[in-house]
Amino acid sequence: MKPFLFSATILSLLGLATVPQVLAATNTSTATTASTATTSSSAESTNTHQTTTTTTNSPKTSTTGTNAANATTTTANASPGQQTATSSATSSANTSQSSSTASSSSANSSSTSDTGTNQGNTDQGNQTTPAQPFTASELTEINALKALHRGLDQTTYDVTTLYASPSNLSGYPFTIGTIKKNYIAATTQWVNYYRHLSGLPPVSTTNDENYVSQLAASVLAGVNANPMLSQHGLLNSSQPAYIPNSIWQQAKLTTNASNLYFRADAESAGKSVSSLVGDNNNIDGNDTGHRAWILSPYLSTFGVGAAYGSNGWKYENMLVMNKTVEQAQATKPQQDVVAYPNAGVFPVEELAPSNGKAIPWSIYFAKSQPHGTLSVKVADNTTGATVTAKDLMDASMNQYGNYKNIFTFIPRGLDLAAGHEYTVTLSGLDNYPNGYTYTFKLFNIVDADDAGNTNSDAALQNIDIPEESVGTVKGAPYGKTQLLSAPFHGTYLSKYLSNNTAWKSYGKTFINGQYFYNLGGAQWINGRFFEKNEQTADGVLTISFAPGQAIAAYNSPYYNHKATGRYFTTGTQWRYNQVVNVGDVNWYNLGDGQWVPASYVQLDS
């Protein structure tokens, strides 16, 4: 695939230069605070506006998906080919340091448990050869990595918890919505964990790159893109009438510049990243292109978006190609050589087979390495065993990650065990007549008696969007509503709020298609009973739905409203005289108690 560029100018021409965030107006009437305690929320890092991103060479798709009965994992990329396997990749992620030429270690200090894996199969068990003790410096690094690993976010997301705002992906009007800031932050955390493991500096997301990534993921989900086929450039998808052409064209550009990942299951943001880095379910084979882009020495920013299709699959877009080959090669790489596993200490869990397949190893060179016939030997310095790596692949022509040379291999038949030291030697490179060689020692990132990091829904129980405002309880059945301890997996409290009473809120979060508002501390109200704003307002709106179709009007903006039997046709204009915001959705009164929601209208200026 030829390198290409998309810029802010192109995005502006596509009508994507500005995507405003609309927040509910604050009611200034007198209100009662449910509690003086407030909850805090971490900084937002998602969406809006245009992007100035450039793209290059062959993008990668990791489509990982599990069906209900058996976990089925697939990965795809821009080149032909497809793989299917059972289960999805699991990996721990960690950090280490540089991939220098030739390093050795051993010597004294304490040791770790001696568990291991065999690259030829999925067995994992105790090894008979005693583990080598770790040096003091190695133990310091190991302890730091363990602490870092325990801090990785493990929040599990599904279709009910991923979004931070409403979306509509399967019909008119096509609305991409946003995803939770914690999902983006967790993705960034995991990406940087793997980059640190490979001796690379951290990267960050940008609002612009997150926005186009979310747009691309939403289009893939909106058409239920076939996860068994490459979807770069929407190659194997057809544009439906409800997705505007400007959105479709932007998604084509973005998917061509991204790692794509598909999976039909609930999972953490880290699982997506670890599967891309493990990269053993790639339709191109073991070229490890997804890994190369995440571990690119030219990467500084990226974007992430995710959306669920009506088929139950999660479609994730990670925008990683934001430099052309020329731009990348004109800058100094952050590191000349990146190996996986890397020199130093490295977690054995990261190399454990998954999906019934071995994890491919890789060595990437930022500078061109002329070579003849290549071979790779991996020696276990602890036992003296040596194997010649199988499945040696030269994927340099693809220039994934803007690397000049990409070599991948699998040391089949070699037992991998914590406490063992290994030396990798790549022979055949003109610039390394004695071979490019480096040494690493494996360790357990999770101790046998340590549960490590565990899944948690704590992040889903916090305020997602901080904002102080005043709301009024309206439309609650039987005249009152019961408060919850949390918006997700919360329990009902003994406190009830009556209709027509006003309360101060401190922020909101979006769960299962609706907003919940925090009234202080662990006190939450369901947004469908919370009116944020009611005002008399004159204006004109246009019905925006499917061409030739109409939307129903309701007798009230509140819960348990009913259709009036009147319909308003797409393209027709109407004057409204009242606006009410319930659960962060504006409703417009077109007169005579005919109410329509904001999702199906456009306000005329």
Average pLDDT over residues 252-266: 95
Q: Which CATH architecture has domain 152-332?
A: 3-Layer(aba) Sandwich (3.40)
Mean pLDDT over 246-274 rounds to 95
CA angle 502, 507, 509 (to 5 degrees): 115
In the predicted model, what is the mean pLDDT of residues 276-296?
Answer: 91
Task: Please state the rounded mean pLDDT for residues 480-497.
Answer: 95
Pairing of strands 492-498, 480-484: antiparallel
pLDDT in the model for residue 329: 81
Model confidence over 176-235: pLDDT tens digits? 999 999 999 999 999 999 999 999 999 999 999 999 999 999 999 999 999 999 999 999
How high is the pLDDT of residue 59?
A: 53
pTM above 0.85, yes or no: no
Do 465-531 and 532-603 have matching folds?
A: yes
pLDDT at 325 over 90: no
Q: What is the pLDDT of residues 521-565, one digit of tens each?
A: 999 999 999 998 877 788 999 999 989 899 999 999 999 999 999
Please report, rounded to a whole number, the percentage of residues in the chain having pLDDT higher than 90. 69
- Fold of the 532-603 domain: SH3 type barrels. (2.30.30)
> What pLDDT does residue 117 have?
53
Residues 84-105 have pLDDT tens digits of 223 333 333 333 333 333 333 3
Cβ count near 552 (within 10 Å): 14
Rounded-to-integer distance, Cα 4 and Cα 58, Å: 10
Beta strand spans in 100-226 (E)? 115-118, 124-126, 156-157, 204-205
Residue-wise pLDDT tens digits, 347-358: 999 999 988 899
Assess whether pLDDT exceeds 50 at residue 140.
Answer: yes
Report the C-alpha gap between 256 and 277 in whole angstroms.
Answer: 19
Its sign, for the CA torsion 258, 259, 264, 267, is negative
Establish how many alpha carbons lie within 13 A of residue 332's alpha carbon, considering only the half-sphere containing its beta carbon.
1
The DSSP symbol for 555 reads S
For residue 16, pLDDT over 90 is answered with no
Pick the closest to residue 251 from 51, 413, 86 (CA basis).
51
What pLDDT is recorded for position 453? Answer: 52
- Answer whether 353's CB lies under 8 Å from 119's CB: yes
- Two tokens, residue 154: 């493990």
Helices 245-255, 207-222: inter-axial angle, 10-degree rounding? 110
Tell me how far apart the alpha carbons of residues 170 and 164 are, in angstroms, rounded to a whole number. 18
pLDDT at residue 356, as a whole number: 87
How far apart are alpha carbons 537 and 350 in whole angstroms?
60
Higher pLDDT, 325 or 421: 421
CA distances from 144 to 150, 193, 420, 452, 520 (A): 10, 12, 19, 14, 37
Residue 280 and residue 409: Cα distance in Å, rounded? 11
Q: What is the DSSP string of 477-521?
A: GGGEEEEES-SSS--EEEEEEETT-EEEEEEEEEETTEEEEE-SS
How far from 96 is each of 146, 345, 448, CA to CA, in Å?
Answer: 11, 6, 21
User: Which residues are within 8 A (CB) of 591 and not within 5 positions of it... i.e. 6 or more apart?
Assistant: 575, 576, 577
Least confident of 14-18, 166-170, 492-496, 551-555: 14-18
Say yes or no to pLDDT of 477 above 80.
yes
Return the minimum-mean-pLDDT range out of 11-25, 153-167, 217-231, 539-553.
11-25
* Structural domain boundaries in the chain: 152-332, 350-452, 465-531, 532-603
Q: What type of residue is 106? A: S
What pLDDT, on a 0 to 100 scale, did the predictor assign at position 429?
97
pLDDT score of 113 more than 90: no
CATH 2.30.30 at 465-531, yes or no: yes
Out of 3.90.1690, 2.60.40, 3.30.365, 3.30.410, select the CATH number for domain 350-452. Answer: 2.60.40
Q: 565 Cβ partners below 8 Å, 6+ apart?
A: none
